[in-house]
Each structure stands twice: as C-alpha cells, then as structure tokens.
Amino acid sequence: MDTKILIIGACGQIGTELTHQLRAIYGNENVIASDIRKLNHPVVNDGIFEVVNALDYNQIQHLVEKYQITDVYLMAALLSATAEKNPAFAWDLNMNSLFHVLNLAKAGWIKKIFWPSSIAVFGPTTPKNQTPQYTIMEPTTVYGISKQTGERWCEYYHQQYGVDVRSIRYPGLISWTTPPGGGTTDYAVDIYYKAISEGKYTCFLSEETELPMMYMDDAIRATIEIMQAPAEKIKIRSSYNLSAISFTPKQITEEIQKHYPNFEVTYEPDFRQKIADSWPNSVNDNEAREDWNWKHQFDLNAMTFEMLTNLEKTLV
C-alpha cells in the first residue's frame, strides 16, 4: 500500500518545512496539508490543501477516508508562551486533537502517527545538564503538562491497542522560513531577523540562559527518519529525547557579531524567563542515536551562517 500522508497544522513553523520535505520525498499527490484556515501560503499553493479543525474528529476522519491516509503527522498545538495566556484552550487543542488521531488508529483507519513532544515536559526538578531519557518530569507550564500527558497516552495506546505512534521531544527549533510562533525559545529565531533588519535586539531572556536548540533542517530530518524506521527499532513509545546544540543568548550574539560586528543586544527578561529556567540546559539523546541512528548535522557556527545567508536574501 502506498504511503498517503495527512499533516494537521501544516502552516505552522514545523509543519511548513515538514510538508515541503514530505512532498519532495513522496510526491505532491500523496501529501495532504491541512490547517484551521486557508492562507496565501506555500503549503496551500503548492499541493493538495484542506481546511480542518483539529478538534473535530469527523472532519479528520472524513479526510482520512477521502484520501486513504496511512500516516498522520499531528503538528497542531498551542506553544509554550502562547498557551500560558489561554490555558483552557491550549489543553483542549493539545490533548483532544491527539485523542482523535489515536482513536482513528485504534479503529484501524490509519497505520502510523507522528506526534511531537517537547523539552517542556521537563521542569525545575529535572536534572539540568545532559537530561536523561528517563528522569523526573514535573512541568510547570500548560504546554509542558499537555505534552507530558500526551506522552503517557501515546505509550498507553501502543501497549493496549498496538497503535504505531512515534514521537520526539523537540528542543528549541530555529528556522529562517517562518517567523517566530510564540515559543520561549523563539528569541533564537527573532535575533537573526533583528540583526539584519535593525542592527539591535532586546532579548526577553537573560544572557546566560542556556537552552537545548536545533536547526530546523535537523529537526525535519529526525521527524522523517523516525517515521521511516522499522517499527521494531522504535523502542520508546512515549517520546524520544532529541539533541543537537545548546547555547546562551550571549553565545548566539557573539556568533552573529562575527558577521555583523556592530550588532547590539540588550536584555530585558520577561515572563518567559521563568519558563526557560524550568527547562534543561542540555539533553542526552543516546537512545535516539542507538535505536534509529539519529545524528545532528548543524552546530551553532553552521546554523548561524545558514540563517544569516538565507535571511539576507529574503529581508534585504
């Protein structure tokens, strides 16, 4: 049976690039993008697109049936900083959309699910450095609570019903193709935009706040690789730790200043500082590297070069 893919939340930061890559691999006709509204957007214009509400089970089932979908990538979610402003809706969206696709798989409608988790599942009591796969998880944000709960449900549906669900805990993701989307790690996207457009940036985290980060190309590759891996290789059905690089706002500023020597950054920590302080400085992802051969390719130097080179073409 051919792979037929439905991406829910295809117009978001990850969804946009994931859709592009999956269409390149599987063909436009086999990758159906969907989101809550139809925008003038490359994902909408370059292939099959459907409007879908991730909270409506019947709408999702209709698309699965219509296109004979085998794999669902559920990328719709309210991110950390945005979710804190609307906790009830964040819980509803992040949890019930997951239940809908898990139940569709349980009923035999779909074969495989990708669901993203996050370093937000960790909390202030989690070991900060080289956070292990199995550790204390006491998240303090709505986003983190919903992701930790989602991990437990994914594992439960796999164990009880044999649902083939796969997940990775994304660190902060950095991309030049879509603007920041309301996450606590988004300073590391915005800082590149401001370096080029304004020559200065006010950072909402303190200069020594170290967080796990990843260039988007690596994250997309990891997402596709875990879905393409043989089922027996996927030994963790909650969610895999995933790691590439860790850095502070001060370190990313110094890297940018190698290209833009006059770039200035000031620090005015806001409510997002407390969220960042509850997350790890670095993550140990040995299980992902051993089980399905994960390897990152971009360090801070290579990522900065890519970000600035590509943004200079689009912003200047």
Question: Looking at 143, 170, 187, 215, which residue is catalytic?
Answer: 143
Q: Is 143 a catalytic residue?
A: yes
Pairing state between β 264-267 and 200-203 = parallel
Phi first, then psi: give them for residue 229, nearest 5 degrees: -70, 145
In three-state secondary structure terms, 63 is helix
The CA-atom distances, in angstroms, between 314 and each of 18, 40, 45, 51, 197 are 20, 17, 19, 28, 11
In three-state secondary structure terms, 64 is helix
Q: Are the C-beta atoms of 35 and 74 separated by less than 8 Å?
A: no
- Per-residue pLDDT tens listing for the chain (316 residues): 699 999 999 998 899 999 999 999 999 999 999 999 998 888 999 999 999 999 999 999 999 999 999 999 999 988 777 888 999 999 999 999 999 999 999 999 999 999 999 999 999 999 999 999 999 999 999 999 999 999 999 999 999 999 999 999 999 999 998 777 777 888 999 999 999 999 999 999 999 999 999 999 999 999 999 999 999 999 999 999 999 999 999 999 999 999 999 999 999 999 999 989 989 999 999 999 999 999 999 999 999 999 999 999 998 7
Residue 104 contacts by C-beta under 8 Å, 6 or more apart in sequence? 57, 60, 61, 64, 72, 110
Give the integer Cα–Cα distance in Å for 140 and 142: 7
**Axis-axis angle for helices 216-228, 13-26 (nearest 10):** 50
